[in-house]
Structures are given as structure tokens and as C-alpha cells.
Amino acid sequence: MAEENHLRPAPWVTRDSEFFWEAAKAEEFVGQGCADCGALRSPPRPMCPECNSVNCETKILSGRGTVYSWVIPRHPIVPGFEKTQIVSVIDLEEGIRFVSNLCEIDYDDVTPDMPVEVFFEDTRDGYKIPLFRPVRT
């Protein structure tokens, strides 16, 4: 739809990630936990790497973490974006890592271990995507 062209593309929703994107629509940041041993799985997958269980449950995450690493792709700019997005690996408080865009910060101001927090942005097709920004003190 033309009026949605300023929005990010809709996520690619799979059977394993549907719970994540449905929660994100309600601006809830969640992860997949093992229903048997409690280990968190990131990204979501069918089987627990700790105990081989296929039982899982949704865990609500704090949405807080620190910057582990980041890259700034220089070329080309993805259609629908005004500028290159910072792609960052976030160390979440819960001990798992999450890949997202780091927003609301200049490229040169990103530092390792910088505290960040999740926020949500609308995408096409009515979804919302969790993104990260520096924690405001």
C-alpha cells in the first residue's frame, strides 16, 4: 500500500517466530524459553539446545541490555529507509543475545557495553518491530 511506504517492511513470520511477532504487536518483548529446563532460546527454534526438549513457553523479557557489537553497512541503503541502519548485537539482561537496529544515536557515538532499551516501531501489514536505543538517564 502506498501510504505504508514510509514504514519498515513487515517481518517474515514463521511458525517458530509467530509468538514473538504477535507479542510485539502489543509492544511486549518476549523470548522463547524451554518449558522443561527453563533455558532461553534465541533465536527461537524447535528444540532446546540444553536438554533437547521440544516443549517451550513464552517468557517476557525486560527489554534492557548492553551493546555487544555493531556494524554500519555502508552500501546500499535498504529501500524504505532514509539512512543506513546500525545493526547491533545486544546482550540482554536475561543472558541471551538479540540482533536489532540501534536507533536514536549518531554512528560515531556508539560504544561497547552502552546500556540500551527496547522500543517498538510500526511496520507494514500492521506489525511492530522491536528496536533499541540508548537508555536515557
Which residues of this chain interact with Zn ion, rule CB under 5 A? 34, 36-37, 39, 48, 50-51, 53
Continuous segment of H or E residues that includes residue 25 = helix 18-25
Shorter beta-carbon distance to Zn ion: residue 56 or 118: 56
Least distance (Å) from Zn ion to the CB of residue 24?
24
Contact between 33 and 92 under an 8 Å Cβ cutoff? The reply is no
Shorter beta-carbon distance to Zn ion: residue 50 or 104: 50
Least distance (Å) from Zn ion to the CB of residue 52?
7
Shorter beta-carbon distance to Zn ion: residue 61 or 131: 61
Least distance (Å) from Zn ion to the CB of residue 75?
41
Number of C-alpha atoms within 13 angstroms, CB side, residue 2? Answer: 0
Contact between 92 and 64 under an 8 Å Cβ cutoff? The reply is yes
Shorter beta-carbon distance to Zn ion: residue 40 or 103: 40
Omega prior to 49 cis, within 30 of 0: no
Least distance (Å) from Zn ion to the CB of residue 35?
8
Q: Which residues lie closer than 8 Å to 108 by C-beta, 6 or more apart?
A: none
Read off the C-alpha cell for 25: 504487536
Number of C-alpha atoms within 13 angstroms, CB side, residue 69? Answer: 2
